Structures are given as C-alpha cells and as structure tokens.
C-alpha cells in the first residue's frame, strides 16, 4: 500500500521533498533535499569507499529514490560496479514520483535520459533486479527492516529512516546489531542523524563512530565503520 502524504513542497535549495502524513515527517531536510542527499550519502558515503571496484549498497528507506538516483549519476564518473538494494515498506505513488523535480534541479549532463532513469526507479517491478547499465543494478524490496535478511555483505549502508522521534524502533541497538552483521568488514554506514543516543548505540555493537560536518542547516552527521578483519 502506498504511503499517504501531505504532498510535495520546495526545500531551500529548490528541490522537492514530501511530508509524510503517516509519520508527520519530511522525507528530507527543509534546508535542501538535494544538498542533503549529496552531502550525507554521496560525499560522506559513496566517495568514502570508492577504492573498491565492486560495491554493494543497502539503503534503509528508498523513499523518493533520490539517493539511489544520485548514486547512479555519481557512478558515471566513478565507473564502479554497483549493486544497490533499497528496502521500502511504504512506496510513494507513481503520480507523486512524476511530480518530483530532481532531474530538473540537479542539471545533469544528460537531462532527458537521467529523468527517465529517475522515473524508472519507481516504474519498474519490486523484488526484481533492475539493470540501468552495465555498472548499476537496483533491486527494490517492499519490506520492513525487521523482516529483511540477506546472505550478502554490504560495503555501504545508507540509513535514511525517518528520525528517531518518528520511527524509534529503527534506532535501537538491536537494529544496529542487525546492520553490523549485514556489513562487510571495513564497511561504512552513513546517516543524517547525529544524536548522542544513536552514536552510543552504534559504538555498543562494535562500530567505530565518526562525527562529520552536517549538511546545510545541520551541524553534524554520523558515519559508522565496521572494523576490518
């Protein structure tokens, strides 16, 4: 069932976000959806592990598809082989996806094709690998994190759940332990959240925690690293 929303609104950098009626939360920072995603997930996440030729990414909260799409775009430069798994129990509607302005605001070199790729994220079937090119494959799983399991070991996790006050069940030590076990040695997890309780929980299950400069409007963000063997 598609998530109920209040609709689309403009954030401060001119890119769209959505207010969730179910959680009464914005999908992105009001200070700039595009800038936040680039800062937290691409610059502090993807670019931090780009020495690997093959990268397995897990996103908790596929949401609008913005992070997956930006990863696809960035990989045009990186040239890695990326397998991207996104879990999302509450997909947005196709109508909502079509109203989002990311391809326009991002001003990508191949605007028409990149817009089609963004829409393809939402149009294609769930539970089936979607090949965008020889270097990027996405699989969308319509499930909760509690019901998710995988034999894969992920190199990078985008933890983009709604904030702890909205989804407290996703910010517990038990969840962080689950993520730790899903990650390859040396893997990284990035999130916009920098609450002390979150960082302490991550440390408690074995992560090394880094506090980084936050995106516009936010002082800090968090990157957690699983120790290498």
pLDDT score for 112: 80
Question: Percentage of the chain with pLDDT > 70?
Answer: 97
pTM: 0.95
Could you tell me if 21 and 209 are in contact, meaning their C-beta atoms sit under 8 angstroms apart?
Answer: no
E strand spans, the chain: 5-10, 16-20, 25-26, 54-60, 81-87, 130-133, 136-141, 154-159, 183-191, 208-213, 220-225
For 166, half-sphere exposure in the C-beta direction (CA atoms, 13 angstrom radius) is 14
Give the model confidence (pLDDT) of 107-156 as tens digits: 776 778 899 999 999 999 999 999 999 999 999 999 999 999 999 999 99
Q: Name the superfamily (CATH) of residues 33-225.
A: Vaccinia Virus protein VP39 (3.40.50.150)
pLDDT at 194 over 70: yes
pLDDT score for 37: 98
Show me where the domains of the chain are located: 33-225
Q: How many CB atoms lie within 10 A of CB 145?
A: 20
pLDDT at 6 over 60: yes
What's the whole-number average pLDDT of the chain?
A: 94
pLDDT score for 3: 45
98 SS3 class: helix
pLDDT score for 195: 97
pLDDT score for 50: 74
* Inter-axis angle of helices 196-204 and 173-182, nearest 10: 50
**Which residues on neighbouring strands pair with residue 83, listed in sequence order?**
56, 137
CA distances to 8, 34, 146 from 106, in Å: 17, 8, 34
Could you tell me if 83 and 59 are in contact, meaning their C-beta atoms sit under 8 angstroms apart?
Answer: no
Maximal C-alpha separation, the chain = 46
As a whole number of angstroms, the distance between CA 216 and CA 220 comes to 10
Q: For 102-137, b where at least 16 C-beta lie within 10 A, e where not — what string?
A: bbebbebeeeeebbebbbebbeeeeeeebebeebbe
Could you tell me if 224 and 187 are in contact, meaning their C-beta atoms sit under 8 angstroms apart?
Answer: no
């Amino acid at each position: 069932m598609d998530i109920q929303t209040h609709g689309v609104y403009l954030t401060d950098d001119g890119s769209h976000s959505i207010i969730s009626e179910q959680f009464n939360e914005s999908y992105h920072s009001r200070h700039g959806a595009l800038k936040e995603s680039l800062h937290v997930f691409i610059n502090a996440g993807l670019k931090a592990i780009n020495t690997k030729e093959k990268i397995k990414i897990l996103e908790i909260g596929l949401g609008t598809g913005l992070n997956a799409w930006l990863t696809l775009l960035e990989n045009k430069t990186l040239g890695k082989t990326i397998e991207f798994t996104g879990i999302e129990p509450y997909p947005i509607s196709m109508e909502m996806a079509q109203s989002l302005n990311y391809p326009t605001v991002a001003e990508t070199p191949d605007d028409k094709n990149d817009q089609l790729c963004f829409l393809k994220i939402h149009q294609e079937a769930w539970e089936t690998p979607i090949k965008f090119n020889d270097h990027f494959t996405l699989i969308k799983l319509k499930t909760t994190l509690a019901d998710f399991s995988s034999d894969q070991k992920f190199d990078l996790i985008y933890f983009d759940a709604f904030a702890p006050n909205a989804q407290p069940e996703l910010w517990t030590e038990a969840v962080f332990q689950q993520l730790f076990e899903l990650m390859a040695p040396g893997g990284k997890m990035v999130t916009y959240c920098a609450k002390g309780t979150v960082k302490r929980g991550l440390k408690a299950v074995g992560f090394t925690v880094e506090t980084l400069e936050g995106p516009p409007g936010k002082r800090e963000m968090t990157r957690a690293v699983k120790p290498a063997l």
